[in-house]
Copies of this chain bind each other. A is one copy, B any other.
Amino acid sequence: MTPKEHENNKEDKDDEVVLDSEHMKRYINGEIWDFEDEIMAVSDDVLLGLDGGTTSTVCICMPCIPFSHSQLHSLPILSKTVAGCSNHNSVGEIAARETLEQVMADALSKCGSKRSSVRAICLAVSGVNHPTDQQRILSWLRDIFPSHVRLYVRNDAVAALASGTIGKLHGCVLIAGTGTIAYGFTEDGKEARAAGAGPVLGDWGSGYGIAAQALSAVIKAHDGRGPNTMLTSSILQKLGLSSAEELIGWTYADPSWARIAALVPVVVSCAEDGDEVANKILLESVQELASSVKAVVERLGLCGQDGKDAFPLVMVGGVLEANRRWDIGTKVINYLSKDFPRVLPIRPKVEPAVGAAWLAWNFFMKEEFHKEA
């Protein structure tokens, strides 16, 4: 839904006429935070971590207790809430804001907190690709929360990294789900990214990329432009279609990337069953994913001058999760180990929103420490 359509929808639902995005925001703002009037006494300080993706948005509320960093992973989760897409590129600016605001309000409401007890928020959202994206989000976030609340806005990849490093921004994260991105940080705060630009701009190692190439291979085999492949019968069966031509209507009917990426397990199965075409697609995906990591690691010098320094590589997303025999994640690590023998792969045990909350804690403690010093 575009922001424009969104506004129109609002007008249909309510009698109040919404004139522009500025009025809109205040109006929603008021209603969303009504629960605060019901909360009488608020006890402890809290922090919020948000992971805003193209599929869903997760918000985690944690206590804001100053203690040793090594104990950070033992911070309890006070509440967790989930909402829909908050990527402004996909749903428009206004819908994205409303989703983010709502998911934070719900998380606070659920654990009996309100905005005044929030110390810090780390908002890690997909679609933050440029400093202007960051500024735009910071400025509306500033309007919602009291001025003492520390605000940190990052790309969602940063939360995924933090989920594997317990809130420490050091090393590289590789995300490969529907989309893919590699993001890295040095200990002294330099950062770099590769890919994460969407399929038009060549994210071919992603779940979408793998599945789109499999679909292309089916069409090519049908046309006589490519070799026959098991993918034809497997994909047609999975989608309940009777011929390769019907794939054209199927892709046009709903071009959402997630719907296409959902075919990845079929491609993996075909490769496991020895299909050469599927195997080649997965091998190329491994190379694409590894080359994204390599670009980030080399630009940041994470591997040291001789390429032999140790660095963490956090791996996140459905494409990298272990499969029966054809394991894309392990192949990516094997591929990278040739160049970087001391790459330390980490598969996080917590979700990225927890990583965002840990980041909020880390940023906040660092600033408090500097203030005191």
Residues of the B chain whose Cβ atoms lie less than 8 Å from the Cβ of A255: 200
* Cα distance A200–B252 in the bound complex, in angstroms: 9
Cβ of A249 under 8 Å from chain B: yes
Residues of the B chain whose Cβ atoms lie less than 8 Å from the Cβ of A130: 243, 245-246, 248-249
* Cα distance A195–B223 in the bound complex, in angstroms: 7
Q: Nearest-CB distance from A9 to chain B (Å)?
A: 12
Chain B minimum-CB-distance residue to A204: B216
Cβ of A198 under 8 Å from chain B: yes
* Cα distance A202–B215 in the bound complex, in angstroms: 8
Q: Dominant SS at the A interface?
A: helix
Whether B225 contacts A200 by the Cβ 8 Å rule is no
- Among candidates B198, B223, B251, B295, residue contacting A223 with C-beta atoms closer than 8 Å: B295
Q: Nearest-CB distance from A14 to chain B (Å)?
A: 19
Whether A193 contacts B298 by the Cβ 8 Å rule is no
Cβ of A219 under 8 Å from chain B: yes
Residue total for A at the interface (Cβ-Cβ under 8 A)? 43
* Cα distance A292–B220 in the bound complex, in angstroms: 9
- Cβ contacts A156-195/B at 8 Å (1 or 0 each): 0000000000000000000000000000000000001111
Residues of the B chain whose Cβ atoms lie less than 8 Å from the Cβ of A224: 192, 194, 295-296, 298-299
Whether B248 contacts A198 by the Cβ 8 Å rule is yes
- Among candidates B193, B195, B219, residue contacting A202 with C-beta atoms closer than 8 Å: B219
Q: How many copies does the complex hold?
A: 2
- Among candidates B133, B201, B202, B251, residue contacting A201 with C-beta atoms closer than 8 Å: B251
* Cα distance A35–B284 in the bound complex, in angstroms: 60
Whether B248 contacts A197 by the Cβ 8 Å rule is yes
Residues of the B chain whose Cβ atoms lie less than 8 Å from the Cβ of A212: 200-202
Whether A247 contacts B194 by the Cβ 8 Å rule is no
Cβ of A89 under 8 Å from chain B: yes
Whether B248 contacts A201 by the Cβ 8 Å rule is yes
Which A residues, 123 to 169, have Cβ-Cβ distances below 8 Å to chain B?
127, 129-130, 133
Whether B223 contacts A200 by the Cβ 8 Å rule is no
Q: A residues bordering B, Cβ < 8 Å?
A: 89-90, 127, 129-130, 133, 192-198, 200-202, 212-213, 215-217, 219-220, 223-225, 243, 245-249, 251-252, 255, 260, 291-292, 294-296, 298-299
* Known A129-B245, A201-B215, A201-B247; further 19 A-B contacts with Cβ < 8 A: A89-B248, A89-B249, A89-B252, A129-B248, A130-B245, A194-B224, A198-B251, A200-B215, A200-B216, A200-B255, A201-B212, A201-B251, A202-B212, A202-B215, A202-B216, A202-B219, A223-B292, A225-B292, A225-B295
